[in-house]
Amino acid sequence: MEFSRLAEIFSKLTAKRLEITDDIAGLLGECPKKEVKRVVYLITGELLPQHYGIELGMGDKLCIRAIALVSGKSDGEVAAHYRKSGDLGDTAQELLKAKSQRTLGSSKLSTEKVYENFYKIATSGGNGSQDLKIKLLADLLGNATPLEAKYIIRFVTGKLRLGAGEATVIDALSVLKAKDKSLRPELERAYNFTSDLGLVAELFFEKGIEGTTHLRAKPFSPIQPALAERLPTTEGIMEKLGECAAEGKYDGFRLQVHKQNEKIEIYSRRLEKMTHMFPDLVAEFRKIKAKEFIIEGEAIVFDEKRNRFLPFQATIQRKRKHGIAEKAKLLPLKFFVFDLLYLNGKDYTEKPYGERRKKIDEAFSEGKIVAPSEYIIAKDVQELQEFFEHALGEGLEGIMAKDLASPYTAGARKFSWIKLKKSYGEGLTDTVDGVVVGFYLGKGKRTKFGFGGLLTAVYDEEGNRYRTVCKIGTGFSEEQMAWFEKTLSKISVKEKPASVDALIDADVWVQPKYVVEINAD
């Protein structure tokens, strides 16, 4: 498939979901079977699913140099145009319009060629890697039409923003084969258990919906996490669930851990590979007798001297690229297992939670660092209320109540799990003002807005610095998301401002200019 066809569709996609779905379905209908996996990855703006840990890592400066090489402009001229346009993809398109794009004898760009160069850019490293990245990108731009160049640059800089998230592509696959969205549940199930939409699409093209039904939990294919509903009282929970399991709700990192023999991988709640950040936990997981498993749990810093869990602000310091070993000694983690998805060749996701819980106690009770989360079987409101108050007394956020008969609901938010925090029944008596220092790109349904949330900070007068306090991901209307993306993009900066101390990174950093009023639970 020629890349020009993708660029044409990219330019047509609108914010109207139905039109996006139909356009993508049409594009996939033209796609050869052998290319569908890569095309799906490109549509969703990724080279590979994020759990592979492969990112393009192409900064604006390197892109500017590549555009300059192909356009005949100087780096300074390209940079000046970019400052004016605000979009490096638009800059590439405009500057290459004035120059003949295809030299005599050169061939049209294929999707395969574009993807291969992207992959080489992402995986090149070491001495001379920057020059190689520029050469590979310039090779594409030199054979691209201006429109193709626009989307090549937007892709490598992570700013494709088509509004085509996983849900949209799943709908498009169903529309392509069934002419409606009736196949969505089966396709969504397959995606939730593989987190690889390209693989699902490839199997769907080869064998139809039957080709996806065998997809099950297996090591190193991260599973989309089950999500909890919430209720404000223990009475409401018991009315909803009846007799249920209740666990302490830890304020740490939710992690999904995969083991097969000596190989260990750790994934975040968003399924980013984080294994290298937790060498202390990796060592503990290797001690577990089970040869294969997929477990979920919460990692949290525990103060042995005071016998208390430390707040999230301490735990989040373990998420870092440098000084990992030193922080591991300073802030040792405990890991509390709260669910079992796979054990020694057996898929447990369809098993009722009560059975999964018993198996956790059997297989993961030997360690001091890795251990089952504390839980009870609550038969009435009084037992549940007493456990809730006990959890708060231990310094936990609250409790998580779980339906003993429910399977693992990958990627779904259902009342199989219900969380209860003290704040749900109270709410903040006041609001907090936070300075916006960054924002996150949209995922899923928010992809089309290019906005997924805010990173906020408070001003430390004594230190003359902005210190990050929270990430805000809820409470936005569609109009607000569009406004934030447009407004904050105008004050975006390439690097974290020197005046900002951040415990977590933003997708896009901005100048500390706007203040938001935060009301939280």
Active site residue 273: no
H, E, C per residue of 324-386:
HHHHHHHCCEEEEEEEEEEECCEECCCCCHHHHHHHHHHHCCCCCCEEECCEEEECCHHHHHH
> Distance (Å, rounded) from C-alpha 470 to C-alpha 313?
10
> Distance (Å, rounded) from C-alpha 236 to C-alpha 238?
6
Residue 435 pairs with which residues in a beta bridge? 457, 515
In DSSP notation, 129-149 reads HHHHHHHHHHHHHTTS-HHHH
> Distance (Å, rounded) from C-alpha 223 to C-alpha 294?
9
Sign of dihedral through CA atoms 401, 391, 423, 336? Answer: negative
> Distance (Å, rounded) from C-alpha 440 to C-alpha 453?
5
Helix (H, G, I), strand (E, B) or coil at 482: helix
User: Could you give the C-alpha distances from 427 to 232, 253, 397, 521, in angstroms and in order?
Assistant: 10, 24, 14, 5
> Distance (Å, rounded) from C-alpha 426 to C-alpha 408?
30
User: Could you give the C-alpha distances from 454 to 36, 251, 517, in angstroms and in order?
Assistant: 34, 20, 12
Q: Which two tokens stand for residue 337?
A: 């297992």
> Distance (Å, rounded) from C-alpha 501 to C-alpha 437?
10
> Distance (Å, rounded) from C-alpha 39 to C-alpha 20?
15
- Residue 308, exposed/middle/buried by CB under 10 A (0-12, 13-18, 19+)? exposed
> Distance (Å, rounded) from C-alpha 131 to C-alpha 62?
9
Q: Which two tokens stand for residue 177?
A: 């084969």
CA 375 centroid distance within chain: 29
Q: Which of 73, 150, 249, 419 is catalytic?
A: 249
Residues recognised as catalytic: 249
